[in-house]
Amino acid sequence: TQLLEQSPQFLSIQEGENLTVYCNSSSVFSSLQWYRQEPGEGPVLLVTVVTGGEVKKLKRLTFQFGDARKDSSLHITAAQPGDTGLYLCAGTGANSKLTFGKGITLSVRP
Amino acid sequence: NAGVMQNPRHLVRRRGQEARLRCSPMKGHSHVYWYRQLPEEGLKFMVYLQKENIIDESGMPKERFSAEFPKEGPSILRIQQVVRGDSAAYFCASSPSTGSLQETQYFGPGTRLLVL
């Protein structure tokens, strides 16, 4: 069974701070996706990473896929209250089904 | 380009009733996935369908649950004789048929099922 561990589980920071959160697995995934989910809504795709070592930037968000395609990190620069939400990573396995981590709950205080 | 649509957004059923959840994929997408999110847990894969075919149903409970994606119309997730443990958020996702983004799944807003 493929498992994804996300850490930390909860994070509360002040506006303007930088942060890095992690998504780790003992399994190799063909691709990995990061989503953000607001309460009462579905996950919204942020990025898909495919190549080991790949780095993708989305404004103040930087995503990195590990060289061995087992782990990923998300770095947010100068966090803003609008970044508050649940961040989910998901790895693509056999038959394209996604294995999700439990998520990281981020709170950015004004 | 409309996103993935799900209805109803909220559904209340009494124990023993049937629940039908509908999902219309994004335009041009022919792959549909259903996931369930229980309180305090991550999303869990249930079933993967293409038009008129079930590709992978390894995450579906053995009894009471079924899914279909007919040639015309939305995908349906059907739960018969619901029990309180079925209360959860059910999400549908779709992906393109081909191309480099084939593995990227786009999610609908979900259906929140409450069983009384």
Q: What does DSSP say about strands B29-37 and B88-96: parallel, antiparallel, or unpaired?
A: antiparallel
Contact A100 B43 (CB under 8 A): yes
Looking at residue A29, its pLDDT comes to 86
pLDDT digits (tens, 9 = 90+) for B37-96: 987 788 999 999 998 899 999 999 999 999 999 989 999 999 999 999 999 999 999 988
Residue A45 has pLDDT above 70, yes or no: yes
Contacts of residue A39 in chain B, CB cutoff 8 Å? none
Give the gap in angstroms from C-alpha A13 to the nearest C-alpha of chain B: 22
Torsion angles phi and psi, residue A31, rounded to 5: -155, 165
Higher pLDDT, B88 or A92: B88
Three-class SS state of B85: helix
Residues 6+ apart with CB under 8 A from A73: A20, A21, A22, A23, A63, A64
Residue A23 has pLDDT above 90, yes or no: yes
Q: Residue A21 is encoded by which pair of tokens?
A: 């959160």
Looking at residue B102, its pLDDT comes to 56
Task: Please give the average per-residue pLDDT across A76-99, as a whole number.
Answer: 91
> Out of A41, A96, A101, whose CB is closest to B42?
A101
pLDDT digits (tens, 9 = 90+) for B41-55: 889 999 999 988 999
Residue type, B97: S
Contact B75/A at CB under 8 A: no
Nearest CA in chain A to B90: A42
Contact B31 A96 (CB under 8 A): yes
Residue B98 has pLDDT above 80, yes or no: no
Supply the mean pLDDT for chain A: 92
Contact A97 B95 (CB under 8 A): no
Show which residues on chain A lie within 8 Å of chain B, measured between beta carbons.
Answer: 30-31, 33, 35, 40-45, 48, 50, 88, 90, 92, 94-103
Q: What does DSSP say about strands A10-14 and A104-109: parallel, antiparallel, or unpaired?
A: parallel
